Structure 1
């Protein structure tokens, strides 16, 4: 049953074979593409989360997460080069491991995209609210800018940006490649300026103790920080357009991830060495003296942070705009405001791409009969899949309104890790079942690389919080119920309806075209 109902790979590839893409990308271009796709939201909004989980040890967390991404990317690249069509990990799984696994991967990708869009919306809110408060010297009430877990009632700015992006996607407003390139440059420039201003004034005392919560804390932070790396599959899906992909793909993938890891470690070092990054504890008792670190995203942590703020001893782990807050603390308030402005300008495009990716996955699943046809309805005027876009927007706005960024990022990571593990398994399976098929890129040392990728994804998944894992299990259970109650009986493959070719003409006009340095429908700029 699990490996039955495999969608014929030849049918999936029929369209791709009609397309002849010019091979023009070298190792340097791939590396730059990867850096543009990876550096983004995660480092802006999850630094405080990582510090609360690992303290200064979060520097090692970046290395662990980057390594798992690298081996997963090499597996992803082989599948992306073989099956260069829409649907990403869902399509790959359908072609190799059958409908049930494909359904579960697609169901997990809903977590990846929709919840991640909510996480970025919350991150955007933190930076924009901080920018407004410090620029205009005003205090916006927390109950309007934070969810219940963060000591507020509802995060209205996060809801508003999610609603705005939904509206833009419905009307089909296009974002040019030039604008996207400028936004990527703004993010990279902001982080570079942060490093230039913070690293030279580091105090090594901030690095001790390095791992206050032990290796378990470092692992937990790595599982959260994974959010800061995802987007590397933008490189993986460029295999068709790469000169000598067998040589250049590994260079581009590993090179971009290595550079991003160094970048992230320097940012983390700047935070740790200037304002410190020790976890906030109950009663503010040091961990060395028996203090208990409070869980990120908990009401207890929010209450303790409020107490610290009243005492005038705020911690970076309490900040909703960690990097801007750090610059203000070390004497660069205006530069901190500029960094907040950079985040405010750049992050909405990330939300837009994530929500677009979500609607694309829904559309492909609906086209396969696994979801109702109305999910793929196209607006008569705007020519966009408005029904599923609005539905996605409602859920993203609700996630953003009531949950903190760390919890949302972890839930998103659970779906992403599941999907990447499935792709890594699919590569091994397809090597055995279809060894003669043309592979523009072959994963090096597949019997070593793929198992490491699978184990790495499982390790990071296991390092997530117990609440996150339970939520993923609950989500997967709901997915199985929906599959057996509805999708299995309506599946086109199950009913013997298999197209000879999946023509992209069947897909509604994309409201956002593929952008250089932006995530493809298989990934996100995190």
Structure 2
């Protein structure tokens, strides 16, 4: 009974058709949105974190994380093409695994998207503050990092205070805070505007990374790859070694699944969603391996070394190998382009919460659509304010690992759901069919579990467990009785008496334009 509340796929499609967002995104838009969501803090900032955990072995870390994501992309392509509506893993779990697990997946996706948006904002502020300081106009240290940021290296004249015997610096990351609010405002203006801005920023990011590869490649030396595995392969729960770095660098790939959250706003989603998912992931994987190889080979990446301690590692590498002007240029490109990742993460978060509200699990008001811009403006502003404070208070490595925990949980749930659906509804039309599902599916679940436990118990997995407990409390105290699937709420399930259904400002069907 606890797990029998499932929302049939046909009903999900029917609900989305009545209360849909405008379909205005094509295959190119989705691929650009996917690349825009993926290429960002992971490669521009977390390269340093991976170097500190695995040294040159982070090359293997990129491969492991990319392989897990490739398996998951094939899984997502099948279910997203079958159910082209907002909600991503949450919606898919609702149809197959039941309401409780769907709620937990949606709850975990808050970590994937909202916390990730905060992490990218912090990563962006590292480049922005570094760029300003390099030109003599840096902000006071108190305004460049949150209170939980830990200083790992000898401080150069900055004011440091001690908390529980650990050195800290900073108080409120002002630039990261302001970026999150700016992106929120842009998202409220509309999806099509966001997509056009993102396409430009994606081009800037790719050009910057290509420039980095071209300039650093001639400086590659084989000796910089020795020792290749200074911390070994690592073990689950240790948080170090190749596996620990893979678990962290996994954040570099997070975002490709955000393409599926735009399914309800996509033209011909059966064709375009798989193209956007697989295409964006393939492009990003190739770029990542080239960047990692040139960064390691040009100046080394041993734990505790200069690269592992930099907040702007790619710009730092170019400056160190004799290209200070290009280092500034790459840093400036990151400053221009990383906001697109914040935008896509917040885009995905608002669409998931929008769908949960539409199902009655969150207050109905959150599903309100702006009368002029046709966007879910209420939930967008709420999400943006929370993201802004995440970014202002916490460091990038903690936010990234917590985000990864939520993402990996959702990835495993979707893989299980697709396999279950193959058994329960074998005759349903599948515009895209995952090849070798009984090999790909179990490998996707196992890979997600391996990376999850490689994040380390403290603080990441511990925080995830607390977050899950809070989610269950919220579900059983509020969401379960207000769900449209709850006894007595059947009229809401079919749209009778639904204020939003009667709102003439909400589009009437899946193909309605603005």
Q: With the length of structure 1 as denominator, give the TM-score of the two structures.
A: 0.81
The CA distance in 2 between the partners of 1:126 and 1:470, in whole Å, is: 27
Q: Is the 8 A contact 2:188 2:380 kept in 1?
A: yes
User: Is there any run of 5+ residues in structure 1 with no aligned partner, and where?
Assistant: 281-313, 511-526
Report deviation, 1:485.
0.8
Identify the residue that residue 477 of structure 2 maps to in structure 1: 485
Contact 2:33 2:198 in 1 (8 A): no
Query: 1:262 aligned to 2:286?
Result: yes
Offset, 1:489: 1.0
Indicate the residue corresponding to 1:394 in structure 2. 385
Alpha-carbon distance, 1:171 to partner: 5.4
TM-score by length of 2: 0.83
Following superposition, the deviation at residue 40 of structure 1 comes to 3.1
SS of the aligned residue for 1:175 comes to helix
Q: Which string of whole-angstrom CA distances, capped at 9 and with x for unpartnered residues, describes residues 390-430 of structure 1?
A: 32222212211121111111111111111111110000111
1:494 aligns with 2:486: yes
The yes-or-no answer on 1:468 pairing with 2:486 is no
Q: What is the aligned partner in structure 2 of residue 284 from structure 1?
A: none
CA distance in 2, matches of 1:317, 1:508: 52
Q: Secondary structure at the match of 1:214?
A: coil
Distance 1:234 1:468, change over 3 A: closer
Shift of the 59–421 alpha-carbon distance from structure 1 to 2, 3 Å rule, reads same
Q: Give, in angstroms, the shift of residue 24 of structure 1.
A: 9.1
Q: What whole-Å deviation, never above 9, does each CA across 1:465-518 have from its counterpart, x for those lacking one?
A: 2110010110000000000111111111113426458999979879xxxxxxxx
Cα separation, partners in 2 of 1:267 and 1:506, compared to 1, 3 Å: farther
Deviates more, 1:315-324 or 1:257-266: 257-266
Higher deviation after alignment, 204-213 or 51-60: 204-213
Structure 1 position 234, deviation (Å): 5.7
Q: Is the 8 A contact 2:34 2:258 kept in 1?
A: yes
Give the structure 2 partner of residue 124 of structure 1.
Answer: 124
SS at match of 2:193: coil
Contact 1:84/1:240 (<8 A) preserved: no
CA 73–110 in structure 1, closer or farther in 2 if over 3 Å, else same: same
Q: In the alignment, does 2:264 pair up with 1:273?
A: no
Alpha carbons of structure 1 residues 381 and 85: separation in structure 2 relative to 1, 3 Å: closer
Q: How far apart, in 2, do the equivalents of 1:416 and 1:373 lie? A: 26
Task: Render the CA deviation track for 1:281-308: whole Å, top value 9, x for unaligned.
Answer: xxxxxxxxxxxxxxxxxxxxxxxxxxxx
Match of residue 92 from structure 2: 92
Q: 1:140 maps to what in 2? A: 139
Alignment partners' CA distance in 1, 2:390 and 2:37: 24
Distance 2:290 2:347 in 1: 32
The 3-state SS of whatever aligns with 2:427 is: coil
- Correspondence 1:355 to 2:346: yes
Distance 2:309 2:393 in 1: 17
Q: CA RMSD in A?
A: 3.2
User: Which residue in the other structure is 1:334 paired with?
Assistant: 325
Query: Could you tell me how far 1:358 is from its partner in structure 2?
Result: 1.6
Aligned residue among 400, 403, 413 for 1:412: 403
Find the aligned partners of 1:4 and 1:507 in 2 and give their Cα distance.
35
Name stretches of at least 5 consecutive residues in structure 2 with no aligned partner: 151-168, 235-240, 508-514
Q: CA deviation at 1:277?
A: 1.1
1:204 is matched with: 222
CA distance in 1, matches of 2:371, 2:307: 49
Is the partner of 2:429 in helix, strand or coil?
A: coil
- CA distance in 2 between counterparts of 1:113 and 1:234 reads 9
Q: Which moved more, 1:158-167 or 1:87-96?
A: 158-167
Aligned pairs for 1:69-468 (under 5 A) are 69-134=69-134, 136-148=135-147, 149-150=149-150, 151-170=169-188, 175=193, 177-216=195-234, 217-233=241-257, 241=268, 257-280=281-304, 315-378=306-369, 384-466=375-457, 467-468=459-460
